[in-house]
Structure 1
Amino acid sequence: MIFIENEGNTDPHLNLALEEYALRNFSVNHDYLLFYINESSIIIGRNQNTLEEINQQYVKDNAIHVVRRISGGGAVYHDLGNLNFSFITNHDGKSLNNFKKFTAPVIKVLNNMGLDAELKGRNDIQVNEKKISGTAQFSTGKRMISHGTLLFNTDLGEVANALNVKMSKIVSKGHKSVRSRVANISEFLKDPMKIEHFRALLLEGLFEESEPFESYHLTAEEWKEVHQLKAEKYDTWDWNYGRSPKFNIQRTKRFTAGEIDLRIFVEKGYIKEFVIYGDFFGKEPVENLENLLHGIRYEKEDVTVALKNINITDYFGDIQKDEFIDLVYGED
């Protein structure tokens, strides 16, 4: 495994661009590990409606970055007390949505530090029933990213201030607030340490069983291409905030695989706009489904026919096709 040096950059737009660039351009003959720490920012899941996930006025007043990532899942808050890790590997057809495989080495290092860490739910690492990490994945088909956050010394008050947390998520988690169910790793350590020391210990632990390892510094030309990707994608309003449809029907339901939020504009009985939001994880882009349903009659029979040859789990994970059709057409 090769460790990618991000040269201490804390700009979330640049770090997410670096991550995607490495995924799409680095050698398929190697696995890579990337660490990065971001300035105060909200990182939006690929399929989420940004304007409904953030406290817009608070974000503006406090100059908090808002950046969309390429992986699914929910919105997360980053600051200088949060360490992010990213494994970049080949996609073997079995690893997507296998969060245990990629969190296990992180959990082992945390256990060696004296923390009773374990994987809980879909994709969270917890210590004493408190969430200290959330993870997500994305695949190009041949390569994949498995990345996550590690709350080390984050300002947890800002998590609640900056995000709009939906009641459905609060109910599903069985907690009254975000603050009540998250914690910093530093709270569980016997001796205080800085995040730089924690980063070094984590890196040492992750490479313990895979030595020899090496660090890689991008060339000037590679950094130029990373900055170009940042400017053309991660700095743009269209990527970070776009996809705000006109709609007259909203259907939302939380499944085991995550929340699916549909915005449908029906005119004269036909679907004119169809947009899918949510914090689910899927390997296929939901835009394919959206396009498939454009222009058809808003009738259950027509929706069923349109989706006849579709494997719905490729888009959302563990839900059944009839469950999705019932959600589209408005039946519980």
Structure 2
Amino acid sequence: MYFIPNNNITDPRINLALEEYCLKRFDPSHDYLLFYVNDPSIIVGRFQNTVEEINPEFVEANNIHVVRRNSGGGAVYHDHGNLNFSFMTRYARENLLNFRKFTQPVIRVLAGMGVDAELTGRNDIVVAGKKISGNAQYATRTAMLSHGTLLFDSDMSTLVKALHVSDDKITSKALKSVRSRVTNIRECAPRPVDMETFRNRLLETVFAPYGDIRTRELDANQWAEVHELARTKYDSWEWNFGKSPRYNVKRRKRFPIGIIDVRIQVAKGVMTGVKIFGDFFGHGEILDLETLLTDIPYTREALEQCLKGVDLSKYFGAMETDCWIAFLLGHQ
């Protein structure tokens, strides 16, 4: 077993790139452990519909990163009060979905702190019925990753607001995250403890059978490759949003100029079909606007570029471009 230092990086794009790089490039005959803490972010499961899992207006206003990970499961919120752990091991079929094996050290450390935690269901660690950790896995042909979150002292108010979305806004074929009641480890511990102490106890517990803590450092060239992977994959719209499963969006609102009802067909994050209904009074051909909006990414930046110079008043009457974009994105 080797410990991989992440150099105190808190950028979720780099940390997820580091996980993937080490899993795919390090010798799978050895086991590895990685810890990291992320800046405020929503980490979306590989098979999820990103738009459905976030509150886009709150996320944008609070500069919260949205990044898709390689593993499945539900969307989770990370911040500086959340410790993430990753075990990388040789691929073994018997370890697939065997979350008990990889969470045992965590549960032992918590027990030593006076926190009675247990693994329940398939992948959650709970205390008194409240979730403190969610876990997921990802495998290649030769190696596998089992990683999890540990809510130590996260901002629960932000967690709830960042992940909230109105269910009547989107009809989707994607698997929705199961909303669970959550709590912080710090609130459960009978005696005060800080996250650094908790992290060190967990590190010592994992390496106790090995006698000492051996590290596996990345060299400058390897770090350069990690940063390049973060830039090209984990910071790309195509990965974080374009991988979203197909879904339908319905927007309906009464404006001063009348009711507007928009139906948007989205595939892989791109608007593949747009239909606009309503009782507004416009003099332009609404089909022209629908065609203009088709085959562009479903993002604010793409909509702003697409509608630059477009006079929306000929379609609707008095309608500001910013107001129209906010409506399409569900921000009002």
TM-score of the superposed pair, with normalisation by structure 1: 0.70
In 2, Cα distance between the equivalents of 1:244 and 1:204? 39
1:185 maps to a residue whose letter is: I
- Calculate the aligned-residue CA RMSD, in Å: 2.6
CA drift at 1:224? 0.5
Partner of 1:216 in structure 2?
A: 216
Looking at structure 2, the residues matched to 237 and 82 of structure 1 have their Cα atoms a distance apart, in angstroms, of: 25
User: What is the rounded CA distance, in whole Å, between the counterparts of 2:182 and 2:101 in structure 1?
Assistant: 23
Distance 2:68 2:205 in 1: 30
What is the aligned length? 247
Q: Which residue of 2 aligns with 1:79?
A: 79
* Partners of 2:66 and 2:266 in 1: CA distance: 26
Conserved 8 A contact 1:125-1:131: yes
3-state DSSP of counterpart to 2:215: strand
Unaligned runs of 5+ in 2: 168-175, 250-264, 273-332
The code of the aligned residue for 1:96 comes to: L
Q: Deviations over 1:242-299 (max 9, x none)?
A: 13566679xxxxxxxxxxxxx999xxxxxx9xxxxxxxxxxxxxxxxxxxxxxxxxxx
- Kindly report which structure 2 residues correspond to 1:95-114, keeping only aligned pairs within 5 A, or say none: 95-114=95-114
Alpha-carbon distance change, 243 to 18 in structure 1, aligned in 2, over 3 angstroms: closer
| Larger displacement relative to structure 2 (79-88 or 92-101) | 92-101
Q: Could you say which residue in structure 2 is the equivalent of 1:252?
A: none
Q: CA deviation at 1:164?
A: 2.9
Match of 1:88 in 2: 88
TM-score calculated relative to the size of structure 2: 0.70
Letter matched to residue 8 of structure 1 = N
Q: Residue 135 of structure 2 contacts residue 147 of structure 2 at CA under 8 Å; is this kept in 1?
A: yes
In structure 1, distance between residues paired with 2:68 and 2:26: 22
Instruction: Measure, in 2, the Cα distance between the counterparts of 1:153 and 1:74.
Output: 20
Paired with 1:248 and 1:228, the residues of 2 have a C-alpha distance of 34
Partner of 2:19: 19
Cross-structure match for 1:43: 43
CA distance in structure 2 between the partners assigned to 1:172 and 1:6 by the alignment: 29
Summarize the alignment of residues 1-332 of structure 1 with structure 2, pairs less than 5 Å apart: 1-164=1-164, 178=180, 181-243=181-243
Greater C-alpha Rg:
2
> Are 1:52 and 1:164, in contact at CA under 8 Å, matched by a contact in 2?
no
Within 2, Cα distance between the matches of 1:155 and 1:204?
27
% identity of equivalent residues = 55
Deviation per CA, 1:158-199, whole angstroms, max 9, x where unpaired? Answer: 1110013687xxx997xxx75xx1100001112222211211
Q: Structure 1 stretch 192-201 or stretch 145-154: which is displaced more?
A: 192-201
Deviation (angstroms), 1:114:
1.2
Q: Contact 1:15/1:36 (CA < 8 Å) preserved in 2? A: yes
Kept after mapping to 2: 8 A contact 1:86/1:145: yes
Q: Is the CA contact 1:136–1:147 (under 8 Å) kept in the aligned structure 2?
A: yes
2: CA distance, partners of 1:47 / 1:94 = 23
> Any conservation in 2 of the 1:153–1:184 contact (CA below 8 Å)?
yes
Task: Measure the CA separation in 2 of the matches of 1:41 and 1:223.
Answer: 22
Partners of 1:53 and 1:184 lie apart in 2 by: 22
Residues in 2 aligned to 1:60 and 1:37: alpha-carbon distance in whole angstroms: 21
Rounded to whole Å, the distance in 2 between the matches of 1:247 and 1:191 is 47
Aligned equivalents of 2:177, 2:221: Cα separation in 1: 47
Could you say if the C-alpha distance between residues 219 and 52 of structure 1 is closer, same or farther in structure 2, counting changes exceeding 3 Å? same
Deviations 1:74-132 (A, max 9, x none): 00000000000000001111111111111112111211221101001110001111100
Distance 2:166 2:16 in 1: 25
